[in-house]
Structure formats: structure tokens, C-alpha cells
Amino acid sequence: MIKSRPVLACHLLLLASLAAPGCGGPATVAGSAPESKTGALEEVGELYRSVGAVKKKPPTSMKDLERSRDVFLLGYRAIEQGDVIVYWGVSVLSGDQTTDEILAYTAEVPTKGGPVLLKNGTVKTMTADEFKAAPKPAGPTSSKSKVG
């Protein structure tokens, strides 16, 4: 019985920390949506880069991303659900190369502006007009209706 007290104490501390106010914060925080979208775009970039490195060619469909789905779940789901639109078959650049060419963008960018992922992995915020003027790959996107 004495041996189980430390284990019980650890479990109680864990439960208390999960239920404690302030742990994790409220579900909606001012500014959390843009941060969430930026995080999803960053993960899409990592997913795209990872798959390209393994396959020795850029992904051309959701099927190419499936093997890395669990590692980059946020990015995978963002593409799958249509929250992020990605251009297929695009070779990414190293982070030190400068480019304004778009690799992916959040779904509302063409009409409202917002964060976009450039081919070098940089996330940049653009207005809808900047997005329309920005260079984009000629290939297909993960969206059924290509914007561009």
C-alpha cells in the first residue's frame, strides 16, 4: 500500500493540472485564428518538403501525403478539409532562397487576404490583391476550383 501512494499522488497531480484554470487557455483567444492558420501552413510546408525528400519528387496528390499524415496531422488535415490549398508537383526551394511564388494558401486568401506559404517555406501575409498579383505555379491545386 505504501508503494502505491507516490503513484496515486502523481495521478492526482496530473489530473489537477489538467483541470486547473489557465492550463491550455480558453478555446477562442483573440489572435488565435491567424496563429492557427500560420501553424497549419508551416506544417503543410514541412509535410510537402518531407514527402518530396523521401519520394525524390514533389507530391502530386493527397495520396502522396498519406504516409506522413500522422507526423504532420495538422497540415494534412488542413489540406484534406480544404482549409489550405496547395499547388501540386511544385519543387520547394531551400529556406535561404528568396521567392514570392506561392506554394500554398489558406482558403480565404483570394477574397479576404491572409497567410500564404511561399516555395521557400516562408509564411507571409498578403492582401487579396497582392495574392492575385503574386506568382503562382501553373499546375493543379488541392482545390477543385483553381484560383490563380
What tens digit of pLDDT does each residue of 114-127 get? 999 999 999 999 99
Distances (CA, A) of 5 to 8, 17, 25, 29, 77: 5, 18, 31, 38, 42
Helices (H) and strands (E) in the chain, counts: 6, 4
pLDDT bracket for residue 78 (50, 70, 90): very high
How much is the mean pLDDT over the chain?
Answer: 79
What tens digit of pLDDT does each residue of 37-76 get? 788 999 999 999 999 999 999 999 999 999 999 999 999 9
What tens digit of pLDDT does each residue of 10-47 get? 444 444 444 444 444 333 333 344 567 788 999 999 99
pTM: 0.72
- The rounded Cα 72 to chain-centroid distance in angstroms is 8
Residues 6+ away with beta carbon under 8 Å from 89? 58, 59, 60, 137, 139, 140
Give me the pLDDT at residue 5, please: 52
Dump strand ranges (E) for the chain.
84-86, 102-106, 114-118, 123-126
